[in-house]
Chain A
Amino acid sequence: MWMIATRELRSLFLSPLAWSILGAVQIILGWFFLWSLYYFVQPDLQAQLASNPNAPGLTAFVVGLQFDTMSTILLLILPLLTMRLISEERRNKTLPLLLSAPVSMTSIILGKFLGMMGFFLILLAMLMLMPLSLLFGGTLDFGQIASSLIGLILFIGALVALGLYISTLTAHPSVAAISTFSVFLLLWMFELAGNAGQQNSVLNYLAITKHYQPLIKGLFSTADVVYYVLFIALFLILSIKRLDAERF
C-alpha cells in the first residue's frame, strides 16, 4: 500500500503537471491573500469592523476567505490530477503489474488514494505558510485554522475518492477528467439549488461544499465530518469493487 502511494507521489513530481499546478495555485492564492489582507487593513473597513461587536477578526476574515478560495480552486484543478490514477495505468498496460503482484485490490486503491492525498498535503503545507506569515504582525485563532484545515483535508479526500472512482471506469485520462469535472460541478450546483429552496432539502445535504462552510467558520460538527468520511469510504469501496470486477 505504502509503496504504491510513494510511487504515485514520486511519479507525480516527475511530470511537469504537478509542478505547474503547485506553482499556479500558489500564485493565484498568493494574489487572493494579498488582496484580502490589503482590503482588511483599509481604514474605512477597520472603522466598520470596530463599530460591530460581532465583526470577524483577522483569522475569520483573511484566513477564512483564503480557505474558501482554496476549495473553489481545488474543485477546478483536482480532476486534472485524479484523472490519471487508474486510467493511465490501464492505458499504458501497467495495471497487470499491480494485479499480478501479491497485493490486494484494497491496497492498490488505498495506495493510489494516499499517494494523491500526499500531494495535496504538500500543496496545503505550502499554502498554509501564507496565513502563518500573519503571525509577524498579529495573533491568529489556531482553533479555527485547525478546524478549517481538517475541513479542507476532508473535502479534498472526498473529491479525490470520487475522482479515483471515475478514473477506474475508463481507459482515457481525458474522459476521466471531463466526467470528474462535470460531477464536481453538479455537486457544487446542488448548493445553489439548495440555497434557492428550503434550508433542509436533500440537495442541500448532498452539496459537497455545504458541509465545508461550517468547518471554515470554526464550527466543528460531527455530522459534517461523518458526511465526508462516508463519502470517501463509499467511493473507495466502489473503486475496489470496480477494479475487482474487471477480472470477471
Chain B
Amino acid sequence: MNSDTLVSVQNLSRFYGDFCAVKNISFEVKRGQILGFLGPNGAGKTTTMQVITGTLAPTMGQISVAGYDILDDPLKAKAAIGYLPEQPPLYKEMLVEEYLRFCAKLHRIPRSDISNAIQHAMEQCGLQEVNRRLIGNLSKGYQQRVGIAQAIIHTPSVVILDEPTIGLDPIQIRDIRHLIRQLGEEHSVILSSHILQEVQAVCNHVQIINEGELIFNDSIDGLLSQMQSTHLQIALHRPPEIQQLKQIQGVEMVEVRENNRFYIQHTATESPAEALVEKSVEGNWGIYELIPEHRSLEQVFMTLMGADEVPPDSLLEKGENVTLEKGEGTLENGVNLKKMNGIKVNSIVEGA
C-alpha cells in the first residue's frame, strides 16, 4: 500500500445473521479520487460505507483508512473520515452554528481553530445566511448541506457521502454536485448513488456493486468505453441508393428509418463516420445529422448485472401476438419483453 492510498478495503464481507450483505469486496481509494459507488437499492452500498466509517464492524476482512486499521486503531482512522449517512445526523433543536461547533469539538479541532473551521465549512456549503437558524426549521436541501458541512468541518482526508443528493430539487442537486467536485480537489470522496448520471457527472472513478458483489471497478473513462457502441445514425436530405451506403468501408448493416434517416451498424474497429461525410459531400446527399450512438449507462448497468442488453426496438405494441420460447401469449401493454425473466422473443407474427 503506498502513501497515496487513503482507503484500503480487503476481502470485506458482512453478514446480517445468515444474510450476506457484502461478499468479499476489495478495493482501494487514492488521494484525489472521487469514487462513485453505484448499485441498485439493497446492493450493499450503505453497508460498505458503514463498515469503512467504523459504525459497523466487518464480519471478515480488513479495512484501513489513512494507514490506520479501523478495528485496531479506530480513533485515528475515524479522525481521517468525514461521514454523511443516508439520513443526515442532525440535532433538530440546535442552531446551525451551534451544531457545527459541537461537531468540531467532537472531531477534536483545537479550540483556537474552531471558529475558522466553522466559517470555512459554512462558506463551502453556502450556509452563511442560515447560521443562526434552527436546523429543524431548515428545508431538506439546507439540512443536507449542514450534513455535508458536518462531514468536512475537520478537513478529513476521506469524505464519505451516502446518497448525498437524494430528495433534493434539481438546483440543489446541481449545487451539491458542484460542492462535491470542489471537495475532490482537496479530499478523497466516496459517494454512493443509484443514479448513473450523477456518478457520471461528478466522479472520476466508478464501482458498481450488485447483491453484495463488486462487478465493475474502473475509471469513468473505462465506463464510457463500455458504453461505446457500434451504431451510427445519419440523416440525409437527398439519400442515395441504400447499396451505396452499404459499400462504405466498415459498414455492416443499414436500416432505413423515417424521414430519410439511416441506422448504420459498423464494425467495432472502424467507424465509417469520416467516410460517410466525405461521400455525402461528394455525392451531394445533403447530410444534416450524424450521431454516434452511445449505449446508455442503464444499458451498461444491465449488461454488467447479467441482464441482457435491451435494444430499443424490442418494444412490442399492445395487442401484438408473440411466440415465446416458453409458451405463447398476447401482450397486455407495451411491455419490454427482454426484461421479463429470461423470456426471449422468437418471432413476431403481425395480425396473427
Q: Hey, which bits of chain A sit against chain B, CB under 8 A?
A: 3-4, 7, 10-11, 14-15, 92-104, 247-248
How many angstroms from the CA of A99 to the CA of B94 in the assembled complex?
A: 19
Closest chain A CB from B81 CB (angstroms): 6
A103 to B105, CA, bound (A): 10
Decide: A11 near B106, CB < 8 A? Known: A96-B83, A99-B54. Answer: no
Interface residues of B in 145-179 (CB under 8 A from A): 150
Given contacts A7-B91, A14-B93, A97-B103, 7 further A-B contacts (CB under 8 A): A3-B105, A7-B102, A96-B83, A100-B53, A100-B85, A101-B106, A104-B74
Q: Are B79 and A95 in contact (CB under 8 A)?
A: no
Closest residue of chain A to B92, judged by CB?
A: A92
Q: Given B53, B76, B94, which contacts A96 in the complex, CB threshold below 8 Å?
A: B53
CB neighbours of A14 from chain B (8 A): 93-94
Other-chain contact of A99, B55, B91, B98, B103 (Cβ < 8 Å) = B55
Q: Tell me the total A-B contact number using a CB cutoff of 8 A.
A: 67
Write the chain A residue with the least CB distance to B150.
A97
Return 11 A-B CB contacts under 8 Å, by A number: A93-B85, A94-B90, A96-B50, A97-B89, A100-B54, A100-B55, A101-B78, A101-B103, A101-B107, A102-B76, A247-B56
Asked if B75 is at the interface (CB within 8 A of a chain A CB), the reply is yes
| B108 at the A interface (CB under 8 A) | yes
Minimum CB–CB distance for B250 against chain A, Å: 54
Chain A: minimal CB distance from B64 (Å): 15
Given the known A-B contacts A92-B92, A94-B90, A97-B89, are A247 and B57 also in contact in the complex, defined by CB atoms under 8 Å? yes
Closest A residue to B79 by CB, please name it.
Answer: A102
A7 to B90, CA, bound (A): 13
Contact in complex: A98, B85 (CB < 8 Å):
no
- Which residues on B sit within 8 Å (CB–CB) of A102? 74-76, 78-79, 106-108
Q: Name the interface size band of chain B.
A: 20 to 34
Q: How far is the CA of A100 from the CA of B85 in the complex (A)?
A: 10
A37 CB to closest chain B CB (Å) equals 39
Q: How far is the CA of A10 from the CA of B99 in the complex (A)?
A: 11
Which residues of A sit under 8 angstroms from B74, Cβ to Cβ? 102, 104
**In the complex, chain A residues whose CB is within 8 Å of the CB of B102:** 3, 7
Contact, CB under 8 Å: A103 / B106: yes
Question: Which chain B positions have C-beta within 8 A of A99?
Answer: 53-55
Does B267 interact with chain A (Cβ within 8 Å)?
no
Decide if A100 touches B81 in the complex (CB within 8 Å).
Answer: yes
Q: Which residues of A contact B94 (CB under 8 A)?
A: 11, 14
Interface string of B194-226 (1 = CB under 8 A from A): 000000000000000000000000000000000
Tell me, rounded to whole Å, the shortest Cβ–Cβ distance linking A181 to chain B. Answer: 24
Cβ of B87 under 8 Å from chain A? yes
Judging by beta carbons under 8 Å apart, are B53 and A97 in contact? no
In the complex, chain B residues whose CB is within 8 Å of the CB of A98: 106
Q: How far is the CB of A9 from chain B (nearest CB, A)?
A: 12
| Alpha-carbon gap, A3 to B114, bound state (A) | 13
Q: Is the CB of B93 within 8 A of A95?
A: no
Known: A93-B85, A104-B75. A15 touches B93 (CB 8 A): yes
Report how far A99 CA is from B81 CA in the complex, Å.
Answer: 12
Closest 7 CB pairs of A and B: A97-B89, A3-B105, A102-B79, A94-B89, A247-B57, A93-B87, A100-B83
From A11, A96, A247, give the contact of B91 (CB < 8 A).
A11
| Cα of A14 to Cα of B93 in the assembled complex, Å | 7
B-chain residues with CB within 8 Å of residue A15 when the two chains form the complex:
93
Within 8 A of A (CB), among B48-107: 50, 53-57, 74-76, 78-79, 81, 83, 85, 87, 89-94, 98, 102-103, 105-107
